[in-house]
Chains A and B, each alone.
Chain A
Amino acid sequence: MLMLGPHSELIAALQASPGIPIFPPRASTVAEGVDQLHYFLTVLTLFFTFVIFTVIFYYMVRYRRRSEDEQPPATRTLMSLEITWTVIPTLICVLVFGWSASLYFRNANPPNASMEIIVIGKQWMWHIQHPEGIREINELHVPVGVPVKITMTSQDVIHDFFIPAFRVKKDAMPGRYSSMWFQATKTGTFHFFCAQYCGQGHAAMIGWVHVMTPDDYAAWLAGTTRGETMTQAGERLFQQYGCVTCHVADGSGRGPSLVGQFGKPQKLRDGQTLIVDETFLRRAITQPNSMPVPNYAPVMPSFQGQLNEEQILQLIAYVKSLGGEERKAKGQ
């Protein structure tokens, strides 16, 4: 394992050599862990393949047929051998499973205070939105050393956002949100790809992550033209599409007030209780009648098809921001 550690000269030489690259750059906090597991599995695979091939080759030579009348001895089963080669692979599998699961578990939950980025996949480009209002197409600028949480969806078919250098990947699906996070450890420019076949332009749906030092990132933020922030856009849409007429802030309207509701549990008429998160809000906007709430008549129209994914996310950002001052005061 020492040979395979991150500072091995062998690895450095391989990564630096031109021609056939072996490993992608290691540019995130999880990359090293994934690579180590990958090395172990590679060694395991090559080892057992080598052992099997060698034993077979040896037997082929040692026991080759020398005469047509040869009579090999009877086969005798050896229970101890059967048990050994059942138990050892099982133990190896348990070990690998445990190692992998613990890595996966750790990588599953984004750290708090992650910087949030919205990614919307659509045939055949990636639309990336910073909360401060900057939009990018097929490019993602992030600062190094900061956890970044990506919330994704698709405008049409299933896509997949894959950043090999960070060893992260997640499907971006229509009709729902998915999320993943990473923390870049090296500045530089790294590929991202769409990794779920999505039609003619699937191979063209690629782009670049630019990891910058915090100073450079701040400079980039300041120097890039921006539109409204997500929250501002959401507020505008809330007015424009008439949401404000029913969802009155003091609760006197035909729909429930949305102030401070984000993150709270909400009981539905059929008895189940859901948390008011991004998925809940998206469903409420596009299929309101699939989740009627008590005390309010199910008269909300569906906005499916009238709002695109970007606009829905902007509305959600706005709803999230409602009652923010109250929540901050309560120390939430």
Chain B
Amino acid sequence: MSAALAEAPPETRVHYLNADYGIKSWLLTTDHKRIALLYLASITLMFFVGGFMAVLMRIHLIEPAGALVHPDTFNKLFTMHGVSMIFFFLIPSIPAVLGNFLVPLMVGAKDLAFPRINLLSWYVFIVGAALTLTAIVSGGVDTGWTFYTPYSTTYANSQVMLTALGVFVSGFSSILTGLNFIVTIHKMRAPGLTWFRMPLFLWAIYATSIIQVLGTPVVAIAIFLVGLERLFHVGIFDPAVGGDPILFQHLFWFYSHPAVYIMILPGMGVISEIITCFSRKKVFGYHFVAFSSMAIAVISFLVWGHHMFVTGMSVYAALIFSVLSFLVAIPSAIKVFNWTATLYQGSISYQAPMLYALGFIGLFTMGGLTGLFLASLATDVHLNGTYFIVAHFHYIMVGGAVMAYLGGIHFWWPKITGRMYPDTWARLAAAIVFIGFNLTFFPQFMLGYLGMPRRYATYPAEFQVLNVMSSAGASILGLGYLIPLIYLVWSIRYGPIAPANPWRAKGLEWETSSPPPTQNFDVPPVVREGAYAYGPPGSELEGAHD
């Protein structure tokens, strides 16, 4: 079927990018593919905003007494770095860019279930981002992205309300996106596409969407109440007027822990797609990986207390949260083993997406295992609030989620733009990112165990060597992120034209042209085989295995 599709070069063929021109055709589009690109531009901006703050912080931390900024400014830098990276880059990234682009293609539909709500979600995101950027330029906020009370309600003299409003608004973008994906996956699958024939990326997006829909409203209320407390001195979170600051932490972490799974699950979905394509093998243990995604989504709602082990909770509550926190690690371990086993007897090629995916598996393993140190009560007492935590979550978020995001961007770039990027540069950048990343964050594990607390603008001199190592690594990491920005933008205009399926991958999105037409498929697809049907002909019949 794919051979019959238009293989005429993009200039002469009509596809979603040239179907209509003009700013209105972009700002009022309901085409999920164009909305994905609108998100791509917005979150890339927020990534470099947050990244710039990280650069300033790492320069500042070269010296124990602080090399660059006043402590007040440093406090604002780490806060705004966290807010912009978490709410405005990581949470939308894969779902809003790759998910928006691919979900309708992968289910064989013409668009998402609610295209106008999709556009609305982007505008809501923009409003949230605009409010937050305004807060950044008009003085910044210094509460930490966690907004702990009563500091944020009563003591902070910075743009708390504006930032809180920005985050609150952006939450609705996340909810609407998740809602759209759930309905699309339930109701709009092509004929023959049963649940267990879906690519694992869809399972991952589905699990993520469930978390987005259930968890985000709770943090919305938490932030809403902080705002009300700040305005009216109500007495909900401020103990000086009878409130309970720990209640805020419960409400906040009830969302923010599942939120970290919003950030990693889609990345895991991307890895499943890349590993299978670049080893030309069906994934090992498809059902296990699919069910692991769902298990992670469910268990993630039960572990929030592990962020609060040193707040004085009862020993018994601590034990329960600790057990569940260990439990949530198991499905992730299962996935890592299944991905590794997929490579066995494969036919492996090393283009940039595969390098990012393989790097992900190793770094996610390390980041995930360092989570065990924190699920374990005795060690968490020592490590909580130190750089060990910072290293742990950056291994997962940067070594994991960002690498998966970059791998996915590279993998689907030809489909999205109709152009190939220069793979040599891409592999070089992937290597630079991997090296720079480890140099930046590995020393932070050591700093943490030595006792250096996080969010410190100045520190005792004995921590300097490790801080300097980390800052040196950060410069390499930053370079590694700039290089793709350059060649990807370059490739849009000057890259070689890409065929419909440059990687010879399986999946409905590859059975339409690159870039796809606005309606995605010239002929609505019918699915007759399972996902990742890379095996010898006849071996992938339903029921022949698994």
A binds B: yes
A65-B347, A123-B155, A203-B458 in contact; A55/B340 too (CB < 8 A)?
yes
A56-B358, A200-B71 in contact; A104/B369 too (CB < 8 A)?
no
Contacts of B242 in A (CB 8 A): 287, 290
* Partner pick for A64 among B349, B369, B539, CB 8 A cutoff: B349
Complex Cα gap A156–B75 (Å): 18
Complex Cα gap A63–B362 (Å): 18
Complex Cα gap A291–B322 (Å): 33
Q: Are A41 and B376 in contact (CB under 8 A)?
A: yes
Output the least CB separation between B274 and chain A (Å): 13
Complex Cα gap A260–B212 (Å): 54
Segment of A132-140, A163-171, A234-242, A249-257 in the binding face: A163-171
Q: Are A191 and B282 in contact (CB under 8 A)?
A: no
Whether, in the assembled complex, B301 has its beta carbon less than 8 Å from a beta carbon of chain A, the answer is no
Q: Are A74 and B465 in contact (CB under 8 A)?
A: no
Give per-residue flags for A74-97: 1 if the beta carbon is below 8 A from chain B beta carbons, else 0. 111100011001100110011011
Please report the total number of B residues contacting A with Cβ < 8 Å.
97
Q: Are A85 and B362 in contact (CB under 8 A)?
A: no
Q: Are B344 and A59 in contact (CB under 8 A)?
A: yes
Give per-residue flags for B49-93: 1 if the beta carbon is below 8 A from chain A beta carbons, else 0. 000000000000000000000011001000000000000000000
Whether, in the assembled complex, B246 has its beta carbon less than 8 Å from a beta carbon of chain A, the answer is yes
Q: Are B385 and A169 in contact (CB under 8 A)?
A: yes
Whether, in the assembled complex, B281 has its beta carbon less than 8 Å from a beta carbon of chain A, the answer is yes
Whether, in the assembled complex, B245 has its beta carbon less than 8 Å from a beta carbon of chain A, the answer is yes
Q: Are A75 and B284 in contact (CB under 8 A)?
A: yes
A56-B358, A74-B282 in contact; A48/B450 too (CB < 8 A)?
no
Q: Are B377 and A173 in contact (CB under 8 A)?
A: no
Q: Chain B at the A interface: mostly helix, strand, loop or mixed?
A: helix
Q: Are A86 and B539 in contact (CB under 8 A)?
A: no
Complex Cα gap A30–B327 (Å): 26
A74-B536, A100-B376 in contact; A156/B450 too (CB < 8 A)?
no
Segment of A14-22, A218-226, A310-318 in the binding face: A14-22
A201-B71, A287-B242 in contact; A170/B465 too (CB < 8 A)?
no
Whether, in the assembled complex, A53 has its beta carbon less than 8 Å from a beta carbon of chain B, the answer is yes
Contacts of A96 in B (CB 8 A): 326, 372, 376
A41-B379, A96-B326 in contact; A158/B148 too (CB < 8 A)?
yes
Give per-residue flags for B345-389: 1 if the beta carbon is below 8 A from chain A beta carbons, else 0. 111111000000010011001100110110111110110111000
Contacts of A170 in B (CB 8 A): 310, 312
Complex Cα gap A139–B539 (Å): 72
Complex Cα gap A285–B439 (Å): 53
Q: Are B347 and A49 in contact (CB under 8 A)?
A: no
The residue among A99, A196, A305 with the most chain B CB atoms within 10 A of its own CB is: A196
Contacts of B154 in A (CB 8 A): 157
Whether, in the assembled complex, A34 has its beta carbon less than 8 Å from a beta carbon of chain B, the answer is yes
Output the least CB separation between A42 and chain B (Å): 8
Whether, in the assembled complex, A211 has its beta carbon less than 8 Å from a beta carbon of chain B, the answer is no
Give per-residue flags for B449-467: 1 if the beta carbon is below 8 A from chain A beta carbons, else 0. 1110111111110100110
Q: Are B458 and A93 in contact (CB under 8 A)?
A: no
Whether, in the assembled complex, A331 has its beta carbon less than 8 Å from a beta carbon of chain B, the answer is no
Quick one: closest A residue to B156, CB to CB? A199
Q: Are A86 and B334 in contact (CB under 8 A)?
A: yes
Contacts of A103 in B (CB 8 A): 377-378
Whether, in the assembled complex, B26 has its beta carbon less than 8 Å from a beta carbon of chain A, the answer is no
Q: Are B386 and A77 in contact (CB under 8 A)?
A: no
Contacts of B323 in A (CB 8 A): 97
Output the least CB separation between B180 and chain A (Å): 32
Q: Which of B418-454 contact A (CB under 8 A)?
A: 446, 449-451, 453-454
Contacts of A73 in B (CB 8 A): 345, 535-536
Segment of A142-150, A174-182, A265-273, A321-329 in the binding face: A174-182
Complex Cα gap A103–B144 (Å): 31
Contacts of B279 in A (CB 8 A): 63, 72
A56-B361, A158-B245 in contact; A175/B382 too (CB < 8 A)?
no
Q: Are B378 and A304 in contact (CB under 8 A)?
A: no
Contacts of B150 in A (CB 8 A): 156-158, 174
Output the least CB separation between A208 and chain B (Å): 11
Give per-residue flags for B380-407: 1 if the beta carbon is below 8 A from chain A beta carbons, else 0. 0110111000000000000000000000
* Partner pick for B315 among A93, A97, A105, A201, CB 8 A cutoff: A105
Q: Are A100 and B345 in contact (CB under 8 A)?
A: no
Contacts of B347 in A (CB 8 A): 63, 65-66, 70-72
Whether, in the assembled complex, A184 has its beta carbon less than 8 Å from a beta carbon of chain B, the answer is no
Q: Are B148 and A199 in contact (CB under 8 A)?
A: no
Quick one: closest A residue to B286, CB to CB? A77
A175-B239, A197-B148 in contact; A24/B377 too (CB < 8 A)?
no
Quick one: closest A residue to B314, CB to CB? A108
Output the least CB separation between A190 and chain B (Å): 9
Complex Cα gap A48–B361 (Å): 11
Output the least CB separation between B447 and chain A (Å): 10
Q: Are A60 and B75 in contact (CB under 8 A)?
A: no
Q: Are B329 and A89 in contact (CB under 8 A)?
A: yes
Q: Are B466 and A20 in contact (CB under 8 A)?
A: yes
Q: Are A157 and B155 in contact (CB under 8 A)?
A: yes
Output the least CB separation between B431 and chain A (Å): 14
Output the least CB separation between B110 and chain A (Å): 32
Complex Cα gap A239–B534 (Å): 86
* Partner pick for B386 among A53, A178, A195, A200, CB 8 A cutoff: A195
Whether, in the assembled complex, A120 has its beta carbon less than 8 Å from a beta carbon of chain B, the answer is no
Complex Cα gap A71–B312 (Å): 59
Output the least CB separation between A182 and chain B (Å): 11
* Partner pick for A173 among B246, B349, B462, CB 8 A cutoff: B246
Whether, in the assembled complex, B230 has its beta carbon less than 8 Å from a beta carbon of chain A, the answer is no
Whether, in the assembled complex, A198 has its beta carbon less than 8 Å from a beta carbon of chain B, the answer is yes
Complex Cα gap A174–B246 (Å): 10
Q: Are A204 and B545 in contact (CB under 8 A)?
A: no
Quick one: closest A residue to B70, CB to CB? A200
User: Which residues of A are in contact with B by a Cβ distance under 8 Å?
Assistant: 19-24, 30, 33-34, 37-38, 41, 44-45, 48-49, 52-53, 55-56, 59-60, 63-66, 70-77, 81-82, 85-86, 89-90, 93-94, 96-97, 99-101, 103-105, 107-108, 123, 156-158, 160, 162, 164-165, 167-171, 173-176, 178, 191, 193-204, 206, 287, 290, 304-305
A23-B450, A59-B340, A85-B334 provided; 20 other pairs, C-beta below 8 A?
A: A22-B449, A52-B340, A60-B348, A65-B348, A65-B349, A74-B282, A75-B284, A76-B545, A77-B286, A89-B333, A93-B329, A103-B377, A156-B150, A170-B312, A174-B240, A178-B312, A191-B460, A195-B384, A200-B72, A206-B460
